[in-house]
Structure 1
Amino acid sequence: MDRADLVRLRRARDRMDREYTEPLDVPALARDALMSPGHFSRSFRAAFGETPYSYLMTRRIERATALLRRGDLSVTEVCMAVGCSSLGSFSSRFTELMGESPSAYRARDHAGLAGLPACVAKIATRPVRAKEAGPSVS
């Protein structure tokens, strides 16, 4: 992959980071990157290790965890606030990444994160696919 392609892919990734609440799709992102949708998806996965859709949903779930920790929004409101249009897809992806449902995550005690700087809390709560996390060591 040449340097120009990497620059365009990074711009598309940055757009997903900025506009995660917007309805983004692969054809639109591919147009911005001056690539066909298929080439864009393959190149994105080769460069960043996941598909564009997976990357976008991970960013949305990452933002959703912060909103759910606050506790003042319902799961449906959080789903819509992060740009998801389907509560079922949102809940399935959330459960896959976080290992528990959005409702269970929202109900859990998050007081331990209260005194942490936002940048540290973000790292501590970063979504990791539950099946990739592996067994925990006690």
Structure 2
Amino acid sequence: MTLEDLVRLRRARDLMDREYAEPLDVAALARVALMSPGHFSRSFRAAFGETPYSYLMTRRIERAKALLRRGDLSVTEVCLAVGCTSLGSFSSRFTELVGESPSSYRARRHDQGAAIPACVAKILTRPVRNREAQSAAPPVA
């Protein structure tokens, strides 16, 4: 992979970071990266370790967690605010990445992280896929 390819992939990833609530698909992202959809998907995964869809959903779930912590929006409103169109898919993905349902996450207290700077909180609250969490966990003796 060339440096130019990485720059174009980063441009598409930055678009996902900025426009996570917009209806983005692989074809649109591939156009931003000036690649075919298939080549873009393979290159994105090779460069960043996950598929474009997985990366986008992680961004959406990160933002959803922040909105749910505020507590002033319903789960459905949060789902739509982060760009998801199916409450069922959103809830399933949220539960997969966070380990609890959006309703449970919204209902519990979140004031223990209130004093943490936002840049640190973003790292600490980043959703982790169950497979990643299992591989990062220390072995059980």
Q: Does TM-score exceed 0.5, indicating one fold?
A: yes
TM-score by length of 1: 0.95
**What displacement does 1:32 show?**
1.4
Equivalent positions of 1:1-138 (< 5 A) are 1-134=1-134, 135=137
Can you give the 5+ residue segments of structure 1 that lack an aligned partner in the other structure? Answer: none
Deviations 1:31-73 (A, max 9, x none): 1111110000000000000000000000000010000001110
Report the RMSD for the aligned CA atoms in angstroms.
1.3
- Give the Cα–Cα distance (whole angstroms) in 1 for the partners of residues 131 and 105 of structure 2: 17
The DSSP-based 3-state class of the residue aligned with 1:39 is helix
- Give the Cα–Cα distance (whole angstroms) in 2 for the partners of residues 131 and 43 of structure 1: 22
Report the residue type matching 1:52 in the other structure.
Answer: P
**What displacement does 1:136 show?**
7.3
The total of aligned residue pairs comes to 137
Q: Give the % identical residues.
A: 82
TM-score by length of 2: 0.93
The DSSP-based 3-state class of the residue aligned with 2:24 is coil
- Give the Cα–Cα distance (whole angstroms) in 2 for the partners of residues 107 and 13 of structure 1: 32
More displaced 10-residue stretch of structure 1: 5-14 or 105-114: 105-114
Can you give the 5+ residue segments of structure 2 that lack an aligned partner in the other structure? Answer: none
